[in-house]
Amino acid sequence: MKKLKSISAYGLAALPLAALTLAACNEDDAVIASRNLSKAADNFEIIRNIVFYNTWTDTEVVSVLGRCSIEDYTQKLAAVCKDGVGDFKKHYLGRSENLSYFAVQAVGADVSTFHTRITWKPQSFLPDIDLHTSGEELLENASEANQ
């Protein structure tokens, strides 16, 4: 009887995994490719041309070209772009009823339509810590400790 209970417990635990696996089999190639392209752009592997366009005056207001990740916040757009090795710039672009934007991927990218890409960076578990203090405060604390 105990063996039957443990088998049924394992069976119940495996149901969500089986359902997830079957659901993943039902995704279209375009959905998987789109998700993988977005992941590649978030890792600064995709060159994009982001153009803000004034629809009333038919003029280009600003253009950003580079390896950029985009976040759309309805009324503004945030673009984080990589300019070389370790150089990053963050641009905020506001939107209004006459100002719109479009982003064009400049170069094709080879992404999988079968496997969802996952980025895991173990070094991100260790934070960079910046210590901000004044030299005077350290001297005061040191002199108080010596007294």
Q: Higher model confidence: residue 146 or residue 106? A: 106
Q: Which domain holds residue 62?
A: 43-107
pLDDT tens column, 61-93: 999 999 999 999 988 999 999 987 889 999 998
pTM higher than 0.75: no
The answer as to whether 127 is a domain residue is no
The answer as to whether 143 is a domain residue is no
Q: What is the pLDDT of residue 29?
A: 85
The answer as to whether 62 is a domain residue is yes
53 within 8 A of 41, measured Cβ to Cβ:
no
Residue 47 pairs in a beta bridge with 67
Q: What is the pLDDT of residue 84?
A: 79
Q: How many domains does the chain have?
A: 1
The answer as to whether 121 is a domain residue is no
The answer as to whether 65 is a domain residue is yes
Q: Residues of 27-46 as b/e, b for ≥16 C-beta within 10 angstroms? A: eeeeebeeebbebbbeebeb
pLDDT tens column, 25-64: 678 888 988 898 899 899 899 999 999 999 999 999 999 9
pLDDT tens column, 80-132: 999 878 899 999 988 888 888 888 888 888 887 887 778 787 777 777 788 77
Secondary structure class of 81 (helix, strand, coil)? strand
